[in-house]
Homo-oligomer: A and B are copies of this chain.
C-alpha cells in the first residue's frame, strides 16, 4: 500500500484503521447472515495510488497570479492534493473515492494567509468565472463540498485556525473560521475560569467553526446551548460582492438579522473568515447525568416533550434511542441477557419496545441537581425506570467515534448512512413510523433511530441504516434508497435537514420544500453577492 492512496483520503477519524468490535460483528452476522469469510473479503478498498485523468484547467498566467498572492508554498496542484479536496464525507463521496472516480477535482488548492488574500483571490475568480469552494474540516455529508465545477479549493485550515480573542466579560470568543473543534475547545478549557463553546457535533474532532456555521450545524448539547445559529454574535464574510461584517451586539432591531443569511449559506455566498461566538463556563464536575428506560417510544417522547415544556430549565444533552437502536445498544454491550436485563424484562421493559433516554445538565452545581431531580420526576410519571449515570457517561466516551465505523463497514460491502430531519411534536411519532417502515421495506436492513436535539416545539429524528450493498450497482442502489427516505420524510411533515445542511444531495427537494418564491429569494441573494455564480456552485441548488 502506497502512502498516497484513495483510501488515505476518505478515511475518517485519525486515519487509523478502525476495527469492528464483537458486538457489531455479531449484529451483522445475525441480521445479514454474514459468515466469517464475508468479514475477510475487502470491497472497493481504495488502496490504489491516486491518479487524476483531469489536469488543472487554469491558465499558467492565472496560477501565477495566485502564487503571487498567497505564495508558492500555499498552493498545490498535484494530483493527490486536488483529489483530497474534491469531496466531503458523504456516502457517495466515499464510494467515488473507493472507485477512484474523481471527475471534477478542483484545479488548484490555495491556503490563503489572510483576509486580503481572499479578497484578491475572489476578485480574480469573479473576473475569470472560476469556481471557489471554501474548505474547512471536509466533513460534509450532503455533497456540500463536491467541487462540481473544479476551480479553487480554498483551504482555511492552515492559516485561518487562530483564536483572535477570548472576552471573559462579554463571555465571547472571536475566532478564525478554519479552527478545528478540539483546538478551540482546549484553549477555552485552559483558562483559569474554564470556558466551553458548548458545540459538539459528531464531527467535532474533524470540523471547523466555519463549517459549523456554513452548514448550520448542531452539537450534542444543543438542547441546552442551542444550534450554531444561536451561538454566533458576529461574523465576517468575504463575498464576490464585498465584505460583510457584523457586530457583537447581544441583540438588535436594526432591520433584519444579516448573520442569519450567512449561517446556513454552505459556501454559496462567500467565505466566512471570522466569527464571534458565545462561550459558557466549563464545569464538567458540576454536570448531572441520567439514563432512563421507557416501555415504548411514545411514552419516552411524551416525557421528553413534557420536560421541555414544563419550565424547569433545560437539559443540555437529551436523547432517546428508538426500540431497535436500544436493542442494538444492549446487544452490542454486555448488558444483553445480564441479570439486570432479565429484571428489566420482568418488570415490563420488553425487548422490541423499550427505549433508552440519556440526559445531561450543565451549569451551576445546584442547578444541574435541581433540573435532574425534576426530569426524574417527569420521567417516572411516564413509567420509566432510572438506570443511573453510567449508560450515558459510557456513551459519551465514544460520542465521536461511531461515525468512524463507516470505513470498516463499507470495506465489507455494507452500505451505511445517516439522515436527519426536524419535526413538530405532533408529527414526530407518525414520521418515525413511516420512515422506519420504508427503511425496513428493504431486505436485510438495520435501522436505528434516535432523537438528539430537542425543543419546546418539536425535535429532530436521526436515522442510521446499515444494509448489504448491491455490489456492482452500489451507487444507483444507494441513490434510489436514499430518495425513498427523503420522499417519506417530506411526505410526513419533516424538514429536509435539521443540522446536516442541504448540499447537493438534498437540493433536488429544496424547491418543493420551501416553495418557488422562497427559492427565488435565496437565488436573488446569491445573485447579489455572487453575480457570476462562482461560490460553491450547485450547492443548495444555487448557481
Interface residues, chain A, with chain B CB atoms under 8 Å away: 167, 169-172, 215-218, 227, 229, 233, 239, 241-258, 260-266, 278, 280-281, 283, 286, 305, 309-313, 362-364, 366-367, 370, 374, 422-426, 453, 455-460, 495-502, 510, 513-518, 520-522, 524-525, 528-529, 540
**Contact between chains at A257 and B281 (CB < 8 Å):** no
A11–B364 Cα distance when bound, in Å, is: 48
**Contact between chains at B254 and A502 (CB < 8 Å):** yes
A235 to chain B, nearest CB (A): 11
A363–B370 Cα distance when bound, in Å, is: 14
Residues on B with beta carbons closer than 8 Å to the beta carbon of A243: 517
Residues on B with beta carbons closer than 8 Å to the beta carbon of A257: 229, 260, 263-264
> Whose C-beta in chain B lies nearest to the C-beta of A277?
B457
Question: Contacting A424 at CB < 8 Å: which of B249, B255, B264?
Answer: B249
**Contact between chains at A374 and B366 (CB < 8 Å):** yes
Known contacts A249-B495, A457-B170; decide if A258 and B313 are in contact (CB<8 Å): no
A500–B262 Cα distance when bound, in Å, is: 24
A522–B529 Cα distance when bound, in Å, is: 11
Apart from the given pairs A250-B459, A256-B261, A524-B524, 9 other A-B contacts in the complex at a CB distance below 8 Å:
A215-B253, A229-B257, A241-B517, A247-B495, A253-B499, A255-B514, A278-B456, A281-B311, A313-B367
Residues on B with beta carbons closer than 8 Å to the beta carbon of A283: 311
15 pairs of residues in contact across A and B, judged by CB atoms under 8 Å: A169-B305, A169-B426, A170-B426, A171-B456, A242-B517, A250-B422, A253-B264, A254-B264, A254-B513, A255-B265, A256-B261, A261-B261, A370-B370, A524-B524, A524-B525
Known contacts A254-B510, A262-B256, A497-B252; decide if A517 and B374 are in contact (CB<8 Å): no
A453–B249 Cα distance when bound, in Å, is: 12
A370–B245 Cα distance when bound, in Å, is: 40
Question: Contacting A253 at CB < 8 Å: which of B255, B312, B374, B500?
Answer: B500
Residues on B with beta carbons closer than 8 Å to the beta carbon of A456: 171, 250, 278, 280
Residues on B with beta carbons closer than 8 Å to the beta carbon of A517: 239, 241-244
Question: Contacting A457 at CB < 8 Å: which of B171, B217, B510?
Answer: B171
Question: Contacting A309 at CB < 8 Å: which of B171, B252, B502?
Answer: B171
Residues on B with beta carbons closer than 8 Å to the beta carbon of A502: 253-255
> Whose C-beta in chain B lies nearest to the C-beta of A261?
B256
A381 to chain B, nearest CB (A): 14
A499–B251 Cα distance when bound, in Å, is: 9
Question: Contacting A524 at CB < 8 Å: which of B262, B426, B528, B540?
Answer: B528
A296–B424 Cα distance when bound, in Å, is: 47
> Whose C-beta in chain B lies nearest to the C-beta of A366?
B374
A456–B457 Cα distance when bound, in Å, is: 23
**Contact between chains at B457 and A496 (CB < 8 Å):** no
**Contact between chains at A424 and B241 (CB < 8 Å):** no
Residues on B with beta carbons closer than 8 Å to the beta carbon of A245: 515, 518
Residues on B with beta carbons closer than 8 Å to the beta carbon of A258: 514, 518, 521-522
A457–B247 Cα distance when bound, in Å, is: 12
> Whose C-beta in chain B lies nearest to the C-beta of A514?
B254
Known contacts A264-B254, A280-B311, A374-B367; decide if A249 and B522 are in contact (CB<8 Å): no
Known contacts A258-B518, A362-B311; decide if A216 and B253 are in contact (CB<8 Å): yes
A367–B518 Cα distance when bound, in Å, is: 41
Question: Contacting A249 at CB < 8 Å: which of B362, B422, B520?
Answer: B422
Residues on B with beta carbons closer than 8 Å to the beta carbon of A280: 309, 311, 456
> Whose C-beta in chain B lies nearest to the C-beta of A373?
B366
A171–B456 Cα distance when bound, in Å, is: 7
A255 to chain B, nearest CB (A): 5
Question: Contacting A370 at CB < 8 Å: which of B218, B286, B367, B498?
Answer: B367
**Contact between chains at A264 and B260 (CB < 8 Å):** no
A254–B256 Cα distance when bound, in Å, is: 18
**Contact between chains at B311 and A169 (CB < 8 Å):** no
Q: What 6 A-B pairs have minimum CB-CB distances, sorted nearest first?
A: A311-B363, A250-B455, A524-B528, A250-B458, A242-B517, A260-B260
Question: Contacting A246 at CB < 8 Å: which of B239, B242, B518?
Answer: B518
Question: Contacting A529 at CB < 8 Å: which of B233, B423, B499, B521?
Answer: B521
Question: Contacting A455 at CB < 8 Å: which of B251, B266, B366?
Answer: B251
A182 to chain B, nearest CB (A): 23
Question: Contacting A521 at CB < 8 Å: which of B216, B248, B457, B528?
Answer: B528
A535 to chain B, nearest CB (A): 13
A517–B363 Cα distance when bound, in Å, is: 39
